[in-house]
């Protein structure tokens, strides 16, 4: 089969997700081109996280399709999506409490990194060094990378997830409210990481309630309301006021 060249990283067509009687996602059709940073905004419960979870295989959609680089992608679990090159920072973090920092940073990567999947002393050392390098970019201070996550703060855990995604992501990085739990300094460090990804032309899909952040980072703004995508706008063409009225459904 010959591959069709496509300008799109991600496309969804009429994606729907019902939870029992709740239509959390209604015919979401969306596309994202290579090199774009797109922000998804919307009120609590608008369907933003559901959209992400149904793209990355955390959940299976009720109907509709997802295409990744032009090819239909029905990821059965988040690990399949990671293997395909989608790194995601979930709103409810997918980190493992009983593993330490380094092990979490390399979660699901061990097999591609090492031949036999068993950690040798040397590999552990290399992983720790690499983990330290990735984490230093987030400004978060974690003294001991052998520390298990169960003892760490929400902000520290979030920074680990972000550093992991930014470090591994090549084809697409999705972040669901990455800075919601972070302090001012850490938020600005994460925003710098995202700027760095932009400069490297790595597509980033970021969900955020912080409109200042959205306007600083995104090329386009996608608004969700009551499970539907109600608007997709170039950031340079809109004001914060207009975005707010799309979010709330008020007439602009
Ligand atoms: N596992 C689930 N079972 C049942 N209903 C769910 C489930 N997950 C989400 N929902 C419902 O689906 C709707 C969309 O939820 P979702 O988490 O996608 O919202 P969101 O836009 O991410 O909101 P927030 O900004 O608060 O994170 C909500 O009404 C929510 O209650
Ligand atoms: Mg959410």
113 lines ligand 1 (CB under 6 A): no
Ligand 1 atom nearest to CA at 224: 21
92 lines ligand 1 (CB under 6 A): no
Question: Which phi and psi (to 5°) does residue 222 adopt?
Answer: -110, 125
Domain range enclosing 18: 8-94+169-248
Does residue 208 carry a pLDDT above 90? yes
179 within a domain of the structure (yes/no): yes
If pLDDT is split at 50, 70 and 90, which confidence band does 112 have?
A: very low
Count of structural domains within the chain: 1
52 within a domain of the structure (yes/no): yes
Mutate to test the pocket of ligand 1, among 19, 229, 230, 248 (most ligand atoms within 8 A of CB): 19
- From 23, 24, 3, 19, select the one nearest 67 (Cα to Cα): 3
30 within a domain of the structure (yes/no): yes
**Amino acid 150: pLDDT:** 80
Q: Among 7-11, 88-92, 158-162, which range has the highest average pLDDT?
A: 7-11
48 within a domain of the structure (yes/no): yes
SS3 for 100? strand
Does residue 229 carry a pLDDT above 80? yes
Looking at every residue in the chain, the average pLDDT score rounds to 86
Mutate to test the pocket of ligand 1, among 43, 50, 230 (most ligand atoms within 8 A of CB): 50
SS3 for 51? helix
50 lines ligand 1 (CB under 6 A): yes
SS3 for 228? strand
110 within a domain of the structure (yes/no): no
19 lines ligand 1 (CB under 6 A): yes
54 lines ligand 1 (CB under 6 A): no
89 within a domain of the structure (yes/no): yes
**Amino acid 220: pLDDT:** 98
Q: Are 8 and 31 in contact (CB under 8 A)?
A: yes
pLDDT tens column, 188-197: 888 988 888 8
For residue 56, report the distance from its CA to the centre of ligand 1, in Å: 16
Ligand 1 atom nearest to CA at 51: 18
Does residue 92 carry a pLDDT above 80? no
Enter the pTM of the model: 0.88
Residue 49 sits in a domain of what CATH number?
3.40.50.300
For residue 48, report the distance from its CA to the centre of ligand 2, in Å: 5
Q: Among 75-89, 95-109, 141-155, 218-232, which range has the highest average pLDDT?
A: 218-232
**Amino acid 93: pLDDT:** 67
More confident call, 251 vs 159: 159
User: 92: which residues sit within 8 A by CB, 6+ positions away?
Assistant: none
More confident call, 236 vs 181: 236
SS3 for 69? coil
Residue identifier of the C-alpha nearest atom 24 of ligand 1 = 44
If pLDDT is split at 50, 70 and 90, which confidence band does 127 have?
A: confident
Does residue 57 carry a pLDDT above 80? yes
195 within a domain of the structure (yes/no): yes
190 within a domain of the structure (yes/no): yes
């Amino acid at each position: 089969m010959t591959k069709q060249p496509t300008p799109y990283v991600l496309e969804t067509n009429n994606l729907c997700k019902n939870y029992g009687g709740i239509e959390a996602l209604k015919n979401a059709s969306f596309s994202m081109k290579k090199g774009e940073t797109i922000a998804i905004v919307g009120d609590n419960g608008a369907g933003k996280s559901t959209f992400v979870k149904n793209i990355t295989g955390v959940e299976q959609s009720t109907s509709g399709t997802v295409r990744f680089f032009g090819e239909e992608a029905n990821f059965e679990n988040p690990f399949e999506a990671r293997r395909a090159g989608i790194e995601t920072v979930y709103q409810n973090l997918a980190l493992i409490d009983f593993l330490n920092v380094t092990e979490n940073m390399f979660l699901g990567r061990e097999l591609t990194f090492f031949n036999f999947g068993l950690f040798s002393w040397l590999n552990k050392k290399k992983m720790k060094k690499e983990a330290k390098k990735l984490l230093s970019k987030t400004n978060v201070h974690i003294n001991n990378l052998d520390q298990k996550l169960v003892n760490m703060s929400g902000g520290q855990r979030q920074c680990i997830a972000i550093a992991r995604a930014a470090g591994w992501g090549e084809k697409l990085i999705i972040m669901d409210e990455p800075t919601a739990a972070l302090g001012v300094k850490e938020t600005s460090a994460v925003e710098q990481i995202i700027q760095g990804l932009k400069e490297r032309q790595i597509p980033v899909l970021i969900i955020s309630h912080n409109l200042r952040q959205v306007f600083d980072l995104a090329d386009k703004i996608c608004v969700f309301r009551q499970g539907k995508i109600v608007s997709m706008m170039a950031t340079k063409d809109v004001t914060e006021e207009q975005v707010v009225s799309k979010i709330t459904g008020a007439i602009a």
